[in-house]
């Protein structure tokens, strides 16, 4: 029996965000090159997108390439860019078939033209899909995003378009790349490290965090279901008391 049957569909996280970590160590353990780990990682992306869509998750955000990843060896960066493009090209028909729309967040102007343009084509081709929203964080870092938001708000203030006293959380939300996307309810990190690595720092203020030792290429559909089941066992109080939540 698959774990999917143990999930309470009335208490699903609306938005699941994932730090996909451990591709390199997965490859090293098998005496393979790091890029081979990323190739396997793409297979997991496919599997997790499928199961998220099947369960009825509304938003799935995957941390595919961080701002800091630009500092990796050029061969690895090039291999990752090529891999992402090949995967997106290959998967677009299935995304459409499964009613999944693609979007991306991040400083995508830094990406090579061929990669950005191919991703934009897939975003265009899947824009009519109304099921799962798959969001790729590419050349993304939270501090970059927050600095950008501050700059935009400062420009509005300098130009007298806004009153400084009116700036509130929703004004910041509106300037982030995730505007119109609900905050993640659940953040999963694979690969054994217990940190959030500059990912959606503003947005995960009240997210449930789930860490697993499994390397991303080993992370299965059942592992994803297990994370959802764990999420459903938690009491989310948002600063209130248990008694207030039960009422």
156 has catalytic annotation: no
Task: Retrieve residue 64's tokens.
Answer: 């595919």
> How many whole angstroms separate alpha carbon 181 and alpha carbon 99?
18
Name the active-site residue from 8, 10, 69, 180. 69
The minimum distance between CB 174 and ligand FPP, in angstroms, equals 27
List CB contacts of 12: < 8 A, sequence separation 6 or more.
55, 56, 57, 228
Q: Is 191 in the site for ligand FPP (CB under 6 A)?
A: yes
Q: Is 126 in contact with 100 (CB distance < 8 Å)?
A: yes
Which C-beta is closer to ligand FPP: that of 14 or that of 25? 25
Which C-beta is closer to ligand FPP: that of 38 or that of 149? 38
Q: Is 136 in the site for ligand FPP (CB under 6 A)?
A: yes
List CB contacts of 175: < 8 A, sequence separation 6 or more.
148, 149, 152, 153
Task: Kindly indicate which of the ranges 82-90, 92-100, 159-167, 171-179 contains the residues binding ligand FPP, using the contact rule CB under 6 A.
Answer: 82-90
Number of residue whose CB is nearest ligand FPP: 24
> How many whole angstroms separate alpha carbon 169 and alpha carbon 239?
17
Interface positions with ligand FPP (CB under 6 A):
20-25, 38, 41-42, 45, 62, 64, 69, 83-84, 87-88, 136, 191
């Amino acid at each position: 029996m698959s774990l999917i049957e143990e999930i309470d569909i009335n208490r699903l996280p609306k938005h699941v965000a994932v730090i996909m970590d451990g591709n390199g160590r997965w490859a090293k353990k098998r005496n393979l090159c790091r890029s081979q780990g990323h190739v396997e990682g793409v297979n997991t992306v496919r599997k997790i997108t499928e199961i998220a869509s099947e369960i009825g998750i509304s938003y799935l955000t995957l941390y595919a390439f961080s701002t800091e990843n630009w500092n990796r060896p050029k061969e690895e960066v090039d291999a990752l860019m090529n891999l992402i493009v090949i995967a997106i090209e290959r998967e677009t028909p299935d995304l459409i078939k499964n009613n999944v729309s693609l979007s991306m967040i991040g400083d995508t102007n830094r990406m090579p033209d061929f990669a950005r343009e191919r991703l934009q084509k897939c975003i265009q081709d899947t824009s009519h899909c109304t099921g799962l929203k798959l969001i790729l964080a590419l050349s993304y870092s939270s501090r970059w995003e927050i600095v950008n938001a501050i700059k935009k708000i400062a420009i509005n203030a300098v130009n007298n378009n806004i009153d400084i006293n009116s700036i509130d959380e929703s004004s910041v939300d509106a300037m982030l790349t995730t505007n119109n996307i609900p905050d993640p309810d659940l953040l999963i990190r694979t690969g054994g490290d217990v940190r959030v690595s500059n990912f959606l720092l503003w947005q995960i203020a009240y997210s449930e965090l789930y860490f697993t030792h499994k390397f991303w290429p080993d992370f299965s559909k059942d592992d994803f279901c297990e994370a959802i089941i764990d999420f459903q066992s938690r009491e989310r109080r948002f600063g209130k008391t248990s008694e207030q939540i039960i009422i």
